[in-house]
Structure formats: C-alpha cells, structure tokens
Amino acid sequence: MPKPEKQAKVEQLAEQLSASAGYILCDYRGLNVKGITELRRALGRVEAGFHVIKNTLFRRAIKEAGAGEQAVGLLRGPIAVTFLSEDPIGPAKELVGFLRTHDRPVVLGGLLRGRFLDPAMVKALATIPPREQLLAQLVGSLQAPLAGLVGSLQGIPRRLVLTLRAVAEQKQAA
C-alpha cells in the first residue's frame, strides 16, 4: 500500500479508537470465511464489527490516538479488532458466545475506557447483564422501599377508620 493510503488508514483507525469505548483484540487463525461472516453478523446485531487489521497500522493508530499502549504487546500474528460501543457488554457477549461454539477466534485482550483487559476480564465482561437489565434492577431496588412506605402510610388511615367504625358500632349496640 502506498504511504498516503497507509496514512489515511492509520487516521481512520485512530478516529475509530477515539470514538469507541474500547476494543477487543483476537487472533483469528483457523477461522474460515463462513465463520468470520457468522461472527460479523452476530456482532452487527449489537452494533459492533470484526475487522482484520495490519499490526503495524494498528500500532501506529494506537500511538496516534493514545489508546492503550499496553495493548501494543498483543499485536503479534494475524489480528482482528472489535471496536466497542458505549455499551461494551453486548459485543463481549457475542464474541464470547461465538467462542463457546468455535475454537477460534482466541481473545488476546483489549482496552475499555482506558483500562487494559486481559482475556479473563473480557470473559467476565461478557457475564455482566446488559445495560437495560442493570437499569431495570436499579429502578426496582429504588422503587421497593418507596412502595413499602406508601403501603405503610396507606395502612395507618385505614386502621384508624376501622377503629372508629368499631367504636361507633359499640356505642350503637350499647
């Protein structure tokens, strides 16, 4: 590739690195075209992609964007990158789910919001519930004490009314 084309590719990768929440690096050796297509479709459903990259270009893009110098050591052999969106759990789940059914790709590590991820951390990220579920759990945990308070506050006047009714019935009977 001529130098201007390489520089344009480095700039494009640096922009993607800056715009994303992070990335996951994989060694895709042994994965055939059908498998790569299947993985790309799965990642496309969660607005992520699986891009085969040249190590030297990605290394330059990392340095240009300042996006995880510690991941530069992982850039050996054929590498593919998955850029993470604001919700990194979806792509991690799809990638790890694909790993369960295939021997490849092998997760090498990555970066999430400036923090280096080793392969075990990527797998742990995939076990976290999706953002919507976490928000629903948070709302539910905030709502439960309020619902209990409302129920208690409604019970006090109800008991007062029942007590007054019982006293009135006793006076009528007497």
Q: What is the pLDDT of residue 21?
A: 85
* Tens of pLDDT, residues 123-143: 888 888 877 888 888 888 887
Q: What is the pLDDT of residue 22?
A: 86
Q: Is residue 48 within 8 Å of 94, Cβ to Cβ?
A: yes
The burial class, CB within 10 Å (0-12 / 13-18 / 19+), for 52 is: exposed
Confidence of residue 66 (pLDDT cuts 50, 70, 90): confident
Average pLDDT, integer, range 21-32: 87
Average pLDDT, integer, range 6-20: 86
Q: Which of 34, 29, 24, 10 is nearest to 78 (CA)?
A: 29
Kindly list the strands in the beta sheet with 22-27, ordered across the sheet, starting from the edge strand earlier in the chain: 51-53, 79-84, 22-27, 106-112, 115-117
Which is more confident, 1 or 64?
64
Q: Residue 123 in 3-state DSSP?
A: helix
Q: Is the pLDDT of residue 38 over 70?
A: yes
